[in-house]
Structure 1
Amino acid sequence: MLYRTLIKWLAPVGLALILSGCSPAPKVQSISGQTMGTSYHISWVAGSEGHSPEQLQAAIDQRLEQVNDSMSNWRPDSLISQFNDLRSDEAMLVDADFIAVMRESVRLAELTDGALDVTISPVVDLWGFGPQGRVQHAPSIESIQEAKAHTGIKHLEIEGMRLRKHLPTLNLNLGAIAKGYGVDVVADLLDEQGIHDYLVEIGGELRLKGAKPDQQPWRIAIEKPDAYGRGVAQILAPGEMAIATSGDYRNFFEEEGRRFSHLIDPRSGEPVNTRLASATVLAPTAMTADALATAFIIMGTESSLALAEREELPVMLIEKRPDGEYEVFYSTAFEPYMEVSQR
């Protein structure tokens, strides 16, 4: 069964996550910083462990630096940049972080019928959303087809701790999944430190565990898809799940009145063009939630809901109707995470 609600909102752009009902209590410690081109915010319930916030943040920053050194396209000496620079089918030794993300990327590429494809880097760069920077004009159909000829997850092979590409010009871009993985490694670090009540957020992607000092659950507010203001669309109690959203946000360019989103459909090589304004996904890991939220925007409402029902995935989709109103779609598995007053 699918749950649908008709809502009237003023503007259609973007979706983000904001924290709701989790203002720091006396026993809640919080830190924040910068990573992966965005910010992070971490809150945890301080117990008898006696963790110094400064020491814990230093450990977190060091761990996130390892992830960046592995998978950041913006660092010329990162492992992913080295792999992209290879022009042979020689297998390259990488690290455990890289392999974990690539294995999930391959799995999700198959699950989404190619809507998620981390080899899309040449097309992303062509549209001006990569490290090379923005472009002034939309690329030609011919240049898009040429860029697509250098893509395809089928050309990638994982051999233990090594990656091999059978297309020498194959390039990887993990922007749709690496940030979620960053959330996961921070959550894992907290667990290793004996911290089991926490909220980890990086650039809007979250993973939660345990409860606040008053034993109330961490709650999350999903924003309305509005580029110019912030308002709550839904309150969630995700429990110990990760949560991620995707949408047009504010990353796009316009040409002759047409808007080009940063979300590129690997199958067409062009920015997404659906009525689906935003997608929210809950999953055991932020890596999976992050990647699926992006894939669902590309797939559109009908295909996304079909996949969510088949795989029993908690998913919330917000679609813009032709009359300017918004329709919200929930998969069956999403309903238990909604606040009772919001259902």
Structure 2
Amino acid sequence: MTKPQKLLWLALVGLAIFLFWWQLPPKLEQIEIQGSTMGTYYVVKLVVPDADAVDGEAIKQQIDARLIDLNRSMSTYDPESELSAFNQSDSTEAVVVSNQLGFVLDEAIRLGELSKGALDVTVGPLVNLWGFGPEGRPEKVPTDEDIKQARVRVGLEKIELSGTGLRKFNDGVYVDLSAIAKGYGVDEVADLVLHLGFANAMIDIGGELRVAGYNQQCQPWRVAIEKPVSTERAVQQVVDVSDIGMATSGDYRNYFEQDGQRFSHTIDPATAKPISHKLVSVTVLHPSSMTADGLATALMVMGDEKGLAWAEAIELPVYMIVKTATGFEAKYSAAMAAYLVD
């Protein structure tokens, strides 16, 4: 090797070493903020260059304040919330609602119409009748007459949202936003931390998620879809996600049994009874966790066959778990395939 060739070789080696080190991801740290809200937990993970430079307690105070405000607006478990005041009122005159309550209601109504009533936030009287609301479980399964009386108070046509004015056309209407409010909370916390300058984050409220950017290894966030068993925490499927919301609806934890029959907390507005098909879990991806939350409930009501066909038609990433005689079967839409980890 001549001297010029040797010098060129050394230069190329040096350039290769420089490029290798330049391409290495920066060393990042993760801080975790935890709390409780909406009857469940929340966890916020922030990926940062220097954890010591972040005042986690100050961020937690802002998160808690935002979630407390949200609950005061749309919780049915708080008898003094804005939504509870509407539900308790006998008036059929329009009332002015806050921007956030109006925003969530507007999306709930839109998804209700899109799903042809599978998502119906006026299903509250039936949710309460079957014992899955603030009043707790009744001592016996409702009679057909009980269901008939509650059913006349259910239906999206029984409410109207116009601007910031909300009215009911039946004094017994009861709006329940539990199928969408948790996802909205996730979006609000995500927007808060992004506004504070944290580009890489995961927000989890009771299993509803939104992720931004990348994890501590500078990779997409890796999230597990839970196996639908109530006896343990087990993984069914892992997905890689970034800059997206994720929500799961299932009937394997919130139910009751009576006389050997299992009653799911998911009420089908069409039958006014708990769902009885074999779909036990639905996971949806959407830029908005609120929208994913509402769509997951709608699909849970539809069942696997109708629901998967609908998801395919609107190109929605959906992962379903169906109970079979031999265990569980997974089904997913074409749009979900790109997110699945082998």
TM-score in same-fold range (> 0.5): yes
Q: Which runs of 4+ in 1 moved over 6 A?
A: none
Is 1:144 equivalent to 2:181 in the alignment? no
| Corresponding residue number in structure 2 for 1:175 | 178
Distance 2:106 2:333 in 1: 26
Structure 1 position 324, deviation (Å) = 2.6
State whether residues 83 and 175 of structure 2, in contact with CA within 8 Å, keep that contact through their aligned partners in structure 1: yes
Structure 1 position 26, deviation (Å) = 6.0
| Corresponding residue number in structure 2 for 1:66 | 69
Please list the CA deviations of residues 129-186 of structure 1 after superposition, one character each: whole Å capped at 9, or x if unmatched. Answer: 1111111210001110110101111111112112111222211001111011100000
| Corresponding residue number in structure 2 for 1:123 | 126
| Corresponding residue number in structure 1 for 2:101 | 98
Is 1:245 equivalent to 2:248 in the alignment? yes
| Corresponding residue number in structure 2 for 1:328 | 330
Please list the CA deviations of residues 2-49 of structure 1 after superposition, one character each: whole Å capped at 9, or x if unmatched. Answer: xxxxxxxxxxxxxxxxxxxxxxx9611111000000000010112479
Q: Match of 1:105, SS?
A: helix
Task: Give the alignment of 1:203-214 within 5 angstroms.
Answer: 203-214=206-217
Distance 2:246 2:196 in 1: 23
Give the letter aligned to residue 218 of structure 2. Answer: Q
| Corresponding residue number in structure 2 for 1:157 | 160
State whether residues 28 and 49 of structure 2, in contact with CA within 8 Å, keep that contact through their aligned partners in structure 1: no
Give the letter aligned to residue 336 of structure 1. Answer: A
Give the letter aligned to residue 313 of structure 1. Answer: L
Distance 1:294 1:256 in 2: 27
| Corresponding residue number in structure 1 for 2:221 | 218
- The structure in which a higher percent of residues are helix is 2
Structure with more relative contact order (C-alpha pairs < 8 Å, separation 6 or more): 1
Is 1:282 equivalent to 2:285 in the alignment? yes
| Corresponding residue number in structure 1 for 2:11 | none
For structure 2, the residue ranges without an aligned partner over 5 or more in a row are 1-26
Q: Match of 2:64, SS?
A: helix
- Structure 2 CA distance for partners of 1:170 and 1:160, relative to 1, 3 Å: same
TM-score scaled by length of structure 2:
0.89
Please list the CA deviations of residues 171-226 of structure 1 after superposition, one character each: whole Å capped at 9, or x if unmatched. Answer: 10011110111000000101111111000000000000001233112110111111
State whether residues 28 and 48 of structure 2, in contact with CA within 8 Å, keep that contact through their aligned partners in structure 1: no
Structure with higher Rg: it is: 2
Is 1:196 equivalent to 2:199 in the alignment? yes
| Corresponding residue number in structure 2 for 1:29 | 31
Give the letter aligned to residue 282 of structure 1. Answer: L
Please list the CA deviations of residues 288-333 of structure 1 after superposition, one character each: whole Å capped at 9, or x if unmatched. Answer: 1111111111100111111111110000111112x23322111000
| Corresponding residue number in structure 1 for 2:296 | 293
Is 1:258 equivalent to 2:261 in the alignment? yes
Distance 1:38 1:326 in 2: 27
Q: Match of 1:326, SS?
A: strand
Is 1:44 equivalent to 2:46 in the alignment? yes
The percentage of aligned residue pairs carrying the same residue is: 45
- Which of 57, 60, 63 is the matching residue for 2:60? 57
Structure 1 position 230, deviation (Å) = 2.2
| Corresponding residue number in structure 2 for 1:109 | 112
State whether residues 28 and 217 of structure 2, in contact with CA within 8 Å, keep that contact through their aligned partners in structure 1: no
Mean CA deviation greater in 196-205 or 296-305 = 296-305
TM-score scaled by length of structure 1:
0.89
